[in-house]
Structure 1
Amino acid sequence: MKIAIISHHAVSLIGFRGTFIKELVARGHQVLALAPDYKPKTREVVRGMGAETIGFNLSRTGVSPKQDLATLFELRRILRDHGPDLVLSFSTKPSIYGTLAALSAGVPRRFAMVEGLGSGFAQPGAPQSLAKRALGVVLRRMYGFALARADGTIFLNRDDYAEFAARRLVPRGRGHVLGGIGVALDQFPQSSHPTDPVVFVLIARMLREKGVGYFVEAARRIHASHPGAAEFVLVGGLDRNPTGHRRAHIREWVREGIVKWTGHVPVGPILRQSSVFVLPSFYREGVPRSTQEAMASGLPVITTDVPGCRETVDHGVNGFLVPPHDVDALTRRMRHFIENPGDISRMGSESRRLAERDFDAKLQDARLIGLLGLS
């Protein structure tokens, strides 16, 4: 069978779909990997997985009817030319435009994957500008129109599925919950982690909604109350999104001695040198890949009690859930590991156990293949 996978970002095909693509190829399927921003090295890696790489134009952020319509027509042309039997689109714009293009191109089977709802589905009580509220209305209508024409929509967590079902954005019986996409557990072996000092790490794009500012404020407070007892590391690149932290801002935190910042680097070595993983995100996630990797590496997790994030923590067992926007609670839970260093190993072992149960890429890839009717 010929299968087209449509992504919003070429690198994500490697980090988020790599094991899945390899498994499809191993089962004898032909895979077309569509993405808007291929670079020579990325193409080489994806081709090395056994997939054919195809580029297209996509504006990842913002809404431009002219650009988005051009994307829809380009995807339709590509799908008509290559004639896949099945299309799987993931992320917001590919799920909408990829599904509609596949319908128009006569692709027999069409699936979308919702990996997180973003700002179009704000948390209850969260402040939103009039423009963002209007954008949310448009986005939800487009989702409803597109997903009604998909054979199935796959969600990573139950909260997102419930939200779409309540809003009638996905037809009854055509929504499925996969859980986290999983990680290759052998690439993130469990190891011992430092306790003197305790090293707290946040791995994410440097966006405000990831809770970067709350992490920094908690670090500032802990430096004052427990000098020398902890280190704080930010890992992740800058983002052109309007909510992204600017380089100068982050460098000022570094100059103050509050945090270290690595930029975008391989995370495996960072996790092996860390003690506790922290993600104070205050918007909906799918199921954060970074948290799954941290759990596989045997790190306790502190994250927020919001959709997606809460899927990764059994409160008090492998870490702690804190309310979003609550820097006091975040600081208190981070201090817990400084004052109770034995919990780093104990809770970290529980994280690894949960990762083996819920986030093994081999098991999750097999589940996804089953949901697509390819098993």
Structure 2
Amino acid sequence: MEKIFLIGTTASNLYIFRKDFILSCISQGIEVYALVSEPDDFWNSKIKETGAHLIEYKMNRSGLNPVSDIKSVLQIKTYINKYKPDLVFSFFTKPVLYGSLAAKISNTPQIVGMIEGLGSPFTEHPNGQALKMKIIRFFQISLYRIVFPFIDKIIFLNSDDPYDLIKKNKIYHKRDAVSILGPIGLDLKDYPYSSWDSSKPITFIFVARLLAEKGIYEFIEAAKIIKEKHSNILFKVIGGLDLNNPYGLSQKDLDSLIQTGIIEYPGFVKNVNEHIASSAVFVLPSYYREGVPRSTQEAMAIGRPVITTDVPGCRDTVIDGLNGFIVPKWDVNALVEKMCFFIENPDQINIMGKESYKIACEKFDVHKVNKKLFEIMEIKD
């Protein structure tokens, strides 16, 4: 193994989620080429600091233009033919589809794809799925039928995703190609454990994009209910608005929530770990088709109990009653009940938080995860 292509989307995403993998490869003398479709000067420089070669390519993550997508495949193919990697490793839907196809056309020796959650096209909404998402899902499945048969390794983060994507849709693939990695992991030293300061007011924290499918509306409704009885309880929200998403929280609604004191919203922050550490309980009432949520992993590493939903990916992080609680999706009353448990039993915050930390050390350590990833990809460590 001399050269690896990593094909992702944004430069920030590739750096945050693949930095340690890149460093592990480089430490073994493997030359790494990082391909990003949405470059950013700051994150570009961070990628280059790892020792990887940065390549920019064009791809519209959410577009449905076949001409544009074909151009993306051909551009990636040009880079593969130029540098001749021994392995092409793509992650997220479009890079897996188009990067793998380009690798196949270029006769790359080994092709690996990682599906980090099934995303919006496979997310069930309480009022049904939008027609556009149904169309995207149809085309995704159709393209997976073309690409999966020649991918050497198809890596998922949880066991629900291959069942819902491959088995239910009867998508053919190579024998023994499918593997379950589990959480992609994080560098635990970046999220040091700290016990919650019980002298402070109890704060419930939500960290995600402010979208319906991430559970922001359930979190807000729960906050309103609890505030009526426990005015001293705080609710903190960290995450960006997505004004182009029809299911997103509006700026007007966000401003109103801040003004009425229902939530605290510090805006864009770079020190998410500090905000989690100053909070008591992490809450993610998501019904999005997650892989395994990174924000939950961060909260558990810091030592916080978690309340999340019984949906793929989310339920893989919590042992119900041990390090937090799992509630049904869309169920505000169940969410309120579990939040009130911590209000009425504050001693359980650090008890359950310690269990979260233990699970994080066992399952989320990026060095352990990368070792497993190397084994799956048959790269000698």
| Residue-pair matches, total | 374
Please identify, of 249-258 and 290-299, the stretch whose mean Cα deviation from structure 2 is larger.
249-258
Q: Which runs of 5+ in 2 are unaligned?
A: none
Aligned: 1:368 with 2:373: yes
Give the whole-Å Cα distance in 1 for the aligned partners of 2:251 and 2:125.
Answer: 31
2:228 is matched by which residue type in structure 1? A
The residue number in structure 2 matching 1:246 is: 250
Alpha-carbon shift at residue 144 of structure 1 (Å): 2.1
User: Alpha-carbon deviations, 1:272-329, whole Å to 9, x = none?
Assistant: 1111100010121100000001000000000000000000000000000000010110
Aligned residue identity for 1:178: L
The answer to whether the 8 A contact 1:111-1:151 is kept is yes
Tell me how far apart the structure 2 counterparts of residues 102 and 126 of structure 1 sit (CA, whole Å). 40
- Residue 269 of structure 2 corresponds to 265
Distance 1:87 1:126 in 2: 39
Q: Where does residue 9 of structure 2 map in the other structure?
A: 8
C-alpha separation between the residues in 1 aligned to 2:86 and 2:34?
14
Tell me: CA distance 1:10–1:170, structure 2 relative to 1, closer, same or farther (3 Å). Answer: farther
2: CA distance, partners of 1:185 / 1:67: 40
Query: Which residue matches 2:74?
Result: 73
Deviations 1:65-103 (A, max 9, x none): 122122111111121122111011001110111110111
Over the aligned positions, Cα root-mean-square deviation in angstroms equals: 1.5
Q: 2:215 aligns with which of 200, 211, 215?
A: 211
Letter in 2 for 1:58: M
- How far off is 1:162 after superposition? 1.9
Identify unmatched segments of 5+ residues in structure 1: none
Q: 1:372 to 1:170 in 2, by over 3 A?
A: farther
In the alignment, which residue of structure 2 is the partner of 1:61? 62
Alpha-carbon displacement from aligned partner over 1:232-282 (angstroms, at most 9, x marks no partner): 111112234343323332122111111111233221111111111000101
Of 14-23 and 193-202, the range deviating more from structure 2: 193-202
Do the aligned residues in 2 keep the contact of 1:238 with 1:263 (CA within 8 Å)? Answer: no
Matches for 1:1-375 after TM superposition, within 5 Å = 1-123=2-124, 127-166=128-167, 167-169=169-171, 171=173, 172-195=175-198, 196-228=200-232, 230-239=233-242, 240-266=244-270, 267-375=272-380
TM-aligned CA deviation for residue 170 of structure 1 = 5.1
Contact persistence 1:61–1:241 (CA under 8 A): no
Q: Report the AA paired with residue 360 of structure 2.
A: A
Change (3 A) 1:124 1:244: closer
Query: In the TM superposition, what is the alpha-carbon distance from 1:124 to its structure 2 partner?
Result: 9.3
Q: Give the Å deviation of 1:64.
A: 1.7
Residue type matched to 1:297 in 2?
A: I
Q: Secondary structure at the match of 1:21?
A: helix
**What letter is aligned with 1:361?**
V
Greater displacement, 104-113 / 194-203: 194-203
Offset at residue 21 of structure 1 (A): 0.9
The Cα shift of 1:125 comes to 7.7
In structure 1, how many angstroms separate the alpha carbons of the residues matched to 2:104 and 2:345?
56
Q: Contact 1:4/1:87 (CA < 8 Å) preserved in 2?
A: yes
Any idea what the Cα deviations from partners look like across 1:200-247, whole Å, max 9, x if unmatched? 11111122210011111111111111111x111111122343433233
1:16 is paired with a residue whose SS is helix
Amino acid at match of 1:114: I
Give the partner amino acid of 1:169. Answer: I
Supply the distance in 2 between the matched residues of 1:89 and 1:365 (Cα, whole angstroms).
Answer: 15
Q: TM-score when scaled to structure 2?
A: 0.95
Q: Which amino acid aligns with 2:110?
A: R
Please report the TM-score for the alignment, with normalisation by the length of structure 1.
Answer: 0.96
